[in-house]
Each structure stands twice: as structure tokens, then as C-alpha cells.
Homo-oligomer: A and B are copies of this chain.
Amino acid sequence: MDKREQLVRVAFDLFYREGVHAVGINRVLAESGVAKKTLYHHFPGKDDLLAATVGYRDALFVGWLQERLRGIPAGRDALLALFDALDDWFHGRDDRILPFHGCYFINVSAEYGDPTHPVHIQCARHKTAVRAILEPHVEKVASSDIEREALLDAVCLLKEGAIVRAHVESNGDAAREARQILARLMAV
């Protein structure tokens, strides 16, 4: 059992559910059953552990999304499948992604609001990565370059909007609402 991995998993779980500043290093140690010395052997400090949890979640989420889109015809269907995936996530119907407590990257960015902070930048990069995954599917749907950019923006805006509304307002319909709007946009 890799202690480093163990620490990152437990830290992510706690940070995600309760917030980064609300969870002390000692909580992480107690719940992971790892010694303090070991933590500071792998990470210089809490910030570095946090950065590792962001990286962990990034890989997890991107992997999950790609798996959800695999096998679905590229283009229109895949973009709609994104929102089906979100809907399953919000309702805890997909075991491959952990229970929904909002978007970890939005949550962390909220606690580290300074856009020049390394961990904030890391969160921004995740969003860029997800956008890059969606880009080729938009390509198949859009007729012009302008269309392509606008549609990609729409998908990303609706995605973020759905996640936020699902979390802040406990709105379980958010993903389906966003899906419907996207369908209408693509019908034009």
C-alpha cells in the first residue's frame, strides 16, 4: 500500500467534502492511519498535499469523462452524453466517480481566490483540459470557425452552470436543463 497515494486519497476526500481550510493535517493523518513524519517525508507542506489532491482529482475526472464518452459517436451525441454523465454524477448513479459535492476545482478556487496562486492556476488548467476534450466533438457539429468557438463556449458555460446550480441550489435537474438548452442550440 502506497502511503503517498493513501494520503492523497484521504486528503482529497476530506478537502472535497469539508473544505481545505476546515480540515487540519491531523485529521488527514488520523483518517488515513499514516504517521505525521511520513506525510512530511512525501510533501514539504499542506499546500503541496493540496496540489497533489488537485492533480489526483484532475486525472480521476478526466479519465471518468473520457470513459463516459467512449463508444459514443463523436459530435452531437457525445456533447449530449456529457450532460447525461453530469446527471448521473449529481444523482450518485455512477460508481466510477465519487459522490457529488460540487466541483472540486471550483471549490478550491473559491478558497484560493487569488488567480496567481499556484493551486488556483492548477484548477484553471483542469478546466482548459476538459474544454480540450470537448473541442473535437464541437468541431463535428459546428459549420464555421465562429460557430465552433461559440458552441464550445456554450457547452462549457452550461456545464459550469449546471454544476454550480446542482450544488448551491441542490438542483438535481440542472444537468437535464442544460442538456435541453444545448440540444436546442445545436438544432439551429
Residues of A within 8 A of B (CB): 17-19, 21-22, 101-102, 105-107, 109-113, 115, 120, 123-124, 127-128, 150, 153-154, 156-165, 167-170, 174, 177-178, 180-181, 184-185, 188
| Prevailing SS type, chain A contact patch | helix
Please tell me if the beta carbons of B167 and A150 are within 8 angstroms of each other in the complex.
Answer: no
CA A167 – CA B174 in complex, angstroms? 21
Q: List the B side residues contacting A154 at CB < 8 Å.
A: 177, 181
List of B residues within 8 angstroms of A170 by Cβ: 115, 124
Residues of chain B with a CB closer than 8 A to A184's CB: 150, 185, 188
Q: Which residue of B lies closest to A159 (CB)?
A: B161
Cα of A79 to Cα of B167 in the assembled complex, Å: 24
Seed contacts A127-B165, A159-B161, A164-B164; 12 additional CB < 8 Å A-B pairs:
A19-B112, A21-B21, A21-B22, A106-B110, A111-B111, A113-B167, A115-B167, A124-B170, A153-B178, A161-B164, A163-B164, A184-B188
